[in-house]
Homo-oligomer: A and B are copies of this chain.
């Protein structure tokens, strides 16, 4: 009971806990939070920058963080710190209930799925968009990993970072491989309309997949 939820307070959103988690590694300003997000959260819990300026206020109102006003020139800046109660709430949340389902959202894959109403170039463009984004993410991942290998990673987070890194790496590799495979599938097509040969091939693809289990 203690510290988790005060009377009259609405329960915090998952995003609020995500930010509470960021604060757990030290006091930070909203801008510093955005920097953190760009190397971690962004890949599995993406949120707009403005969220990082808003959400900490909710933490403060719940007593899970404190706001320290400070100034830079004649401009104010707020540095947030997690409270002991905040640490308890975070720990409790991490063990409570089932996490919500993973979701994938891809406009490019949606366009692939609707490709019977488009043109062959449109289909190839959608596939390519997926490949390009995955390449960009892999490049970013390479940057981050290289920094860690060179300068030594944050020692207290390295083991956990590696678990998450491997997830994102595998995911983006899968995307590239799928895009290459899909290109090869579409290569012999002259257009996106159905044909007996394409239908035949589709059945092969399905049964190949099922056999893999």
Q: Does A14 contact B (CB under 8 A)?
A: yes
Q: Verify A105–B46 contact, CB threshold 8 A.
A: yes
User: Beta-carbon contacts of A15-44 to B below 8 Å, as 1s and 0s?
Assistant: 000100100100000000000000011011
CB closest chain-B residue, reference A138 = B213
Q: Is the CB of A201 within 8 A of B162?
A: yes
Pick the residue among B115, B148, B202, B209 that contacts A203 (CB under 8 A): B148
Q: How far is the CA of A212 from the CA of B182 in the complex (A)?
A: 21
A122 touches B95 (CB 8 A): yes
Task: Return chain B residues, CB-CB under 8 Å to A91.
Answer: 117-118
A-B contact pairs, 17 of them (CB 8 A): A40-B113, A44-B105, A44-B106, A45-B105, A95-B122, A98-B129, A99-B126, A101-B133, A113-B160, A116-B160, A145-B206, A145-B209, A153-B203, A159-B199, A159-B202, A166-B178, A167-B178
